[in-house]
Amino acid sequence: MNYQIIIPAHNEEQFIGLTLDSLVNQTILPSKIIVVDDNSTDTTSQIVKSFTEKYTFIYLVEKKSDAIHLPGSKVIQAFHEGEKHIDADYDILVKVDADLIFPTNYFETIIGHFQSDDRIGMVGGFAYIEKNGEWILENLTDKDHIRGAFKAYRKATFKEIGGLKPAMGWDTVDELLCKFYNWKVVTDETLPVKHLKPTGANYNKASRYKQGEAFYSLGYGFFITAIASLKLALRKKKPLLFLDYIKGFWKAKSSGKELFVTDEQANFIRNYRWKKMREKLFYK
């Protein structure tokens, strides 16, 4: 299967070379890698150019945008810029962050999953971070969720869910819409991806309410948002974030912020979330 990769990057001189090294050493190579350098002020572009000179399937796209780094919006806007340069004949489209190291068999295994079942719409491995000299699971989400840092989509799935939303919560709504359209989401614990920079390391103070706004935009409603907010705040070991998430939710609701989804999809999402909570409570 023909897979193509889009890498949004902003000031990633420390890691982008390692990421590209791991991609050019895959057992099955991508047909195209597009790096979108989004207004970097460091040597990110020069490093990528050194790869484009050696590998004909790597391309650099330069994008100018505001320097502010808000979760979701900036990275997906850069991804959209990269979409303009993909070839139409791809089978799998992959969104990759610029601070990852993949095992050499990563995409061979990903392709194997897609080939095993034509209703599999998304596939991904697991993120690991270095702590005290050891690589441990970056345990911020449930194990049935694919991290936004590395998302692989079947072409038909990507088209049906309407691509990626340029806002925080994009990497949750994509999976929920997969479920809505009866696509399967597969995570593979045998595929550890080294995440070199902690999630959210570059987010500024303006982003602190964005998670609550994202929960609202997903159509969660208040009670599911409260449960999800508490769970995430505790996982991050910052309980006071719960208050920020709730404030963000009410801020979005009071402003009449538009949802990512239709009323029908929002109803499906709420029912799905309640179902998953009941399963965890009663079937553990």
Give domain status of residue 200, yes or no: no
- Residue 101 is predicted with a pLDDT of 98
Q: What share of the chain is helix, strand, coil (3-state, %, to 5)?
A: 40, 20, 40
**pLDDT value for 205:** 52
Is the domain of 159 the same as that of 238?
no
CA–CA separation, 215 vs 245, rounded Å?
8
- Amino acid, res. 260: F
State the pLDDT at residue 209.
83
Q: Which of 195, 225, 245 marks a domain boundary? A: 195
Structure confidence at residue 201 (pLDDT) = 47
Q: Which are the contacts of 8, defined by CB distance < 8 A and separation ≥ 6? A: 36, 38, 74, 75, 76, 78, 79, 82, 95, 97, 98
Positive or negative: CA dihedral 68, 77, 4, 183: positive
At 144 the pLDDT is: 86
CA 267 from centre of chain = 23
Give a yes or no: residue 271 inside a domain: yes
Residues 47 and 187 in one domain: yes
| Same-domain status, 164 and 115 | yes
As given in the structure block, the two tokens for residue 167 are 């806002």
Q: Note whether 170 and 226 are same-domain residues.
A: no
34, 59 Cβ separation under 8 angstroms: yes
> Inter-axis angle of helices 222-235 and 210-217, to 10 degrees?
140
Residue 171 and residue 71 in contact, taking contact as beta carbons nearer than 8 Å:
no
Cα 268 from Cα 272, distance rounded (Å): 6
Number of structural domains (the chain) is: 2
The model scores a pTM over 0.75: yes
Residue 119 lies in a domain: yes
Q: What is the pLDDT along the chain (284 residues), one digit of tens a residue?
A: 999 999 999 999 999 999 999 999 999 999 999 999 998 999 999 999 999 999 999 999 998 866 555 556 789 999 999 999 999 999 999 999 999 999 999 999 999 999 999 999 999 999 999 988 899 998 766 788 999 999 999 999 999 999 999 888 899 999 999 999 999 999 999 999 999 986 554 444 556 788 889 899 989 999 999 998 898 888 888 888 899 999 999 999 999 888 989 999 999 999 999 998 888 776 55
Strands (E) located in the chain: 3-9, 32-38, 58-63, 92-96, 100-101, 120-131, 134-137, 150-154, 184-195
